[in-house]
Amino acid sequence: MMSKNKGKILGVTVLSSTVLLSGCGLFGAETKKKIDPPKSMTVVDKDVSKETTAKEKAQAENTVKTELYLVDKNGYVVPQTLALPKTTSVAKQALEYLVANGPVDEMLPNDFKAVLPEDTDLTVDVKEGVATVNFSKEFKNYEPKDEMKILQSVTWTLTQFNNVKSVKLKMNGHPLTEMPVNGTPISENLSRASGINFDTKDVVDITNTKPMTVYYIGGEEGAYYYVPVTRRVNNSEKDNYAAVVNELIKGPNDQSLVSQFMSDVKLLEAPKYEDGKVTLNFNENIFGSFEEKEISQSLLDALVLSLTEQQGVEKVAIQVNGKAELKNDKGKKLSEPVTRPEKVNTGSF
């Protein structure tokens, strides 16, 4: 079983298999947080460095990078990529690492927690794109406030795999049509289209809207990460790609999150889609505060992560005033479209 984006070749070095947040100029003037450049460097002894490299190589051979959707201190369900032991049952293992006080405990990033109740046993059966999860009776031992977080964590963790498009839940062999504690309805086939970390602030008529998932930045200095948030967009908005960009420009409603996009960033024309590629033409404000007219790496990351949540989008090409000869804040030329990284939030910041 492979991750959804395994096998994609990055079109540019802007995005590696990890999602990196630049330590210099990450946030513009309108954002609420700032990352300072490193104040010092550490020189590592060559022999120690070689030993570390050997250990890392051995670990890579015996583990597989897996996204676990865990809950941060602000209550957001966030992907964290961890190295789990290699197994033939990757879907089952991923969920087992969502169980509180289980094997994930020693691996949890700071201020994160697992969502499934302690001692929960489970099985996972994948057929024709549907992963059916059968939980033991311990599954119902959770706090009512965690009900939606559990649904989102299980669904998004399982749908990272290529052969899982949707999820069904059971408990003690009986299909669940609603969650066992607070009665949250469960759709017949849970999928990413159901959304995550819902933001419905200022939405008056939710029935006249559609979900749109975008990525903002959460965490704190030294430990930033990307947070998927599902906003509601009016049904009258026909261009989903433009809607994604507009939601990034608007920024999050919660002050614990930030967006790299300044409020004066604008699309100069409608996005163009062809063969899995979306082309965006921005005004010069996309450069933010960079004097060298560079585009922030983290802005690119958030943009690509958000747009590739849209069905059929595999890569994003950026233009400014119709010109494609650009570079990011690391000085790398954006000569090719940018594709989604294989894994999100790897812990390398």
**Domain count for the chain:** 2
Structural domain includes residue 300? yes
Phi, psi of 150 (to 5 degrees): -65, -45
- pTM, two decimals, is 0.83
User: In 10 A of CB 39, how many CB atoms?
Assistant: 5
Q: How far is CA 149 from CA 241, 253, 337, in A?
A: 27, 19, 34
What are the structure tokens assigned to 257, written together?
């999150």
Torsion of CA 98, 75, 288, 24, to 10 degrees: -60
Structural domain includes residue 5? no
Q: Both 246 and 126 in a single domain?
A: no
Structural domain includes residue 41? no
| Digit-coded pLDDT (tens) for 16-67 | 334 434 333 333 334 434 334 334 333 444 455 565 676 667 667 899 999 9
| Digit-coded pLDDT (tens) for 147-163 | 999 999 999 999 999 99
Instruction: Produce one character per residue of 62-89: b if its CB has 16 or more CB atoms within 10 Å, e if not.
Output: eebbbbbbbbbeeebbbbbbbbbeeeee
The pLDDT of residue 27: 35
Distance CA 334, CA 298 (A): 14
Q: Both 175 and 261 in a single domain?
A: no
Q: Both 70 and 149 in a single domain?
A: yes
Q: Both 231 and 266 in a single domain?
A: yes
Structural domain includes residue 347? no
Q: Both 165 and 240 in a single domain?
A: no
Q: Categorise residue 235: left if φ over 0, alpha if ψ from -120 to 50, beta otherwise.
A: alpha
Structural domain includes residue 21? no
- Expressed as residue numbers, the domain containing 167 is 59-190
The pLDDT of residue 12: 37
| Digit-coded pLDDT (tens) for 203-245 | 888 899 999 999 999 999 889 999 999 999 999 999 999 999 9
Confidence of residue 284 (pLDDT cuts 50, 70, 90): very high
Last residue of a domain, one of 190, 207, 232: 190
User: In 10 A of CB 291, how many CB atoms?
Assistant: 6
